Chain A
Amino acid sequence: MSRFILYVISGLIGLLFIAPFIWILLTSLKSDQDIYGAVRILPQEWTLVQYIHIFQGSVNLGMYFMNSISITAVSVAAVVLLSSMSGYGFARFKFKGDVLFIGFLLLIMAVPWAVYLVPIYIMESKSGLINTKLGLILPYITLNLPLAILIMRGNYRGVSKEIEEAALMDGCTVFQTWYRIMLPIVKPGLATVFIFSAIQIWEEFMFARTLVSDNINWTLPVGITMLRSEAQSWAFGTLSAAIILSLIPLLTVFILAQQYFIRGITDGAIKG
């Protein structure tokens, strides 16, 4: 009997969590008359007209999509590369003040992002980086770098030193040892950093909304919310279709690598 109640509770929770996805998917498959008539759960007539709007280019979603892709790709690549290098440096190299550096990284992570935004906005206004993709990519790299470095440092520290020593004995240079021996071993760490920063950057709103006012460089979250404000209440069909499309990249990664998602969360929360 009590198991039955637990199943009912689980089912209700599951339903509550999946329902928003289903409702948005159903809305995206309705016509406008259907959406703004009497409320029905299922479409009266299933149609792809909302998706056709998007692909005909009546809204700039394709452009926002490509912006998000390119900004995320470049930023994530830089975060992975930089953290895989400096993480190794911090893990294997003792120098004066390295504890200070770690403290510095932790401090940066603890401070809310809004604190950095004003000075970065002023700096970028002065240097002409405002409204550019680079103006978003640079802060995205540095906002995600501290946690990435700490995750990579932890991963390198887990590798036994003998492996490296053997490689150095065999005549590998430090660079070769890092590239050929160490990087393949810390692949799970790289995957964690990759997914963690990809989610952060793909979903980021505050910096994207503030540093770019010109719609040519808007990312998906900004573009879609802006469309919503312009459209007020009539465009929820197209917006739903846009949201469904915007979920595809992360959904794909989610299905392919759920365990790295989970690792990213646990590592991220514990070290952050």
Chain B
Amino acid sequence: MISSLRTKVLFLGVFIAPSMLLLSLLMLYPLLNSIYLSLTEFNFVYSEKPVFIGLGNYIKLLSDPEFWNAAKNTLIFATFFFILLISFSLLVALLVTSDLRGMKLLRTVVFLPIIVALSLTGVIFQWILNFKFGIVNHVLDLLHLPYLIKNWLGDPDVALFSIILVSVWRYSGIVMILFIAGLQAIPGDLYEAAKIDGAGWWHRFIYVTIPNLKETFIVTGVWGIMNSIKVFEQPFVMAYGGPAGATTTLYFYSWRSSFEFYEMGYGSAIAYVVALLVLIASGLNIFVLNRDKNLT
């Protein structure tokens, strides 16, 4: 059909070339350029141009206490956020797909935070969690739970966990939608058959629902991992990495190195560490779940 040389040229030139040109210039070139930058020492304010230092930045990372602090925070954030996000979203998705009434409303309400920019979520919760004027401490006071009143964003032991909970609020709706799609794709006969075999609610969940959600677990898992590791706006807006570095994550540390200290080479190296972590964790997630599927 579409075969003549003229149409081929037309297709390439008019339909594909503009996108590819833009993508090469603004994505491919930066991607390659930042690999090179990560191998250089380049202070954007003081240096004339990048100086090649090989793996120097990556070696420097290993003995940089701030890097290890950021790595530790990223690991804590990613672990707790990921577990909470997946389990809580699945719980809500199960409620929404049940035959309870008013569940459409629940779905809408849980999904609604998507209209709030992540950075503005930060501002909103700074106010909600405000030590003196915030509603959370006020409600805890009203409920006579004074030992739960915390300086949510000002206490180094608490701040990271506050940010985790805020992130769960912001992201659950999206993962819930993915789980709902997965749950609705499970054939109803499977549940009927399990019921006839005398399986209770819990057994149906373990032996029918969970195994049939494997594809969904891959999708939500990869999505969750990417957003666990790339946490940036929440610590930036809510605490600027503080107090005392307690919410400095790798992504934030990378940005700070590049655009507060203008160490473009070092910042790029950290950004590549983040990229590598995302790729490894996502790959691992897919590998583990796919291997399981082959066994069953």
Contact (Cβ within 8 A) B237 A115:
no
Q: How far is the CA of A229 from the CA of B66 in the complex (A)?
A: 24
Chain B residue numbers with a CB within 8 Å of A269 are 174, 178, 219-220, 223
Contact (Cβ within 8 A) A145 B33:
no
Interface string of A237-250 (1 = CB under 8 A from B): 00110010011001
Chain A residue numbers with a CB within 8 Å of B229 are 112
Shortest Cβ gap from A229 to chain B (Å): 9
Shortest Cβ gap from B20 to chain A (Å): 7
Q: How far is the CA of A149 from the CA of B15 in the complex (A)?
A: 11
A–B Cβ pairs within 8 angstroms, 29 of them: A9-B95, A10-B102, A16-B169, A20-B124, A39-B134, A41-B135, A82-B18, A85-B14, A85-B18, A86-B19, A89-B16, A93-B8, A93-B11, A93-B15, A104-B23, A111-B275, A112-B230, A115-B271, A117-B255, A118-B34, A119-B34, A121-B264, A161-B1, A174-B10, A202-B117, A210-B259, A240-B127, A254-B114, A269-B220
**Interface of B (DSSP majority class):** helix
Chain B residue at minimal CB-CB distance from A211: B259
A216 contacts the other chain (CB 8 A): no
A-B CB proximity, top 10 nearest: A89-B15, A203-B117, A119-B30, A86-B19, A250-B115, A89-B16, A205-B119, A39-B138, A119-B33, A142-B26
A146 contacts the other chain (CB 8 A): yes
Number of A interface residues in the complex (CB < 8 A):
97
Interface string of A151-172 (1 = CB under 8 A from B): 0000000000100110010000
Chain B residue numbers with a CB within 8 Å of A161 are 1
**Interface of A (DSSP majority class):** helix
Q: How far is the CA of A113 from the CA of B31 in the complex (A)?
A: 10
Residues of A bordering B, CB below 8 Å: 3, 6-7, 9-10, 13-14, 16-21, 23-24, 27, 35-36, 39, 41, 82-83, 85-86, 88-90, 92-93, 95, 101, 104-105, 107-108, 110-123, 125, 138-139, 141-143, 145-146, 149, 161, 164-165, 168, 174-175, 178, 199, 202-206, 209-210, 220-222, 224-225, 228, 233, 236, 239-240, 243, 246-247, 250-251, 254, 258, 261-262, 265-266, 269-270, 272
